[in-house]
Amino acid sequence: MPIYEYRCEACGHELEALQKMNDAPLAICPECSQTTLKKALSAAGFRLKGSGWYETDFKGGNEKNVHNAGQPTEKKSACSGGSCP
Distance of CA 32 to the CA centre of its chain: 33
| 46-62 CB burial, b ≥16 within 10 A, e <16 | eeeeeeeeebeeeeeee
In this predicted structure, the answer to whether residue 62 has a pLDDT above a threshold of 80 is no
Per-residue model confidence as pLDDT tens digits over 17-56? 999 989 999 999 999 999 999 999 887 666 666 666 655 5
Sorting pLDDT into bands at 50, 70 and 90, what band is 82?
Answer: low
Q: Which residues contact 35 (CB under 8 A, 6 or more apart)?
A: 27, 28, 29
Cα(19)–Cα(37) distance, integer angstroms: 15
Sorting pLDDT into bands at 50, 70 and 90, what band is 78?
Answer: low
In this predicted structure, the answer to whether residue 79 has a pLDDT above a threshold of 60 is no
Which pLDDT does position 9 carry in this prediction?
96
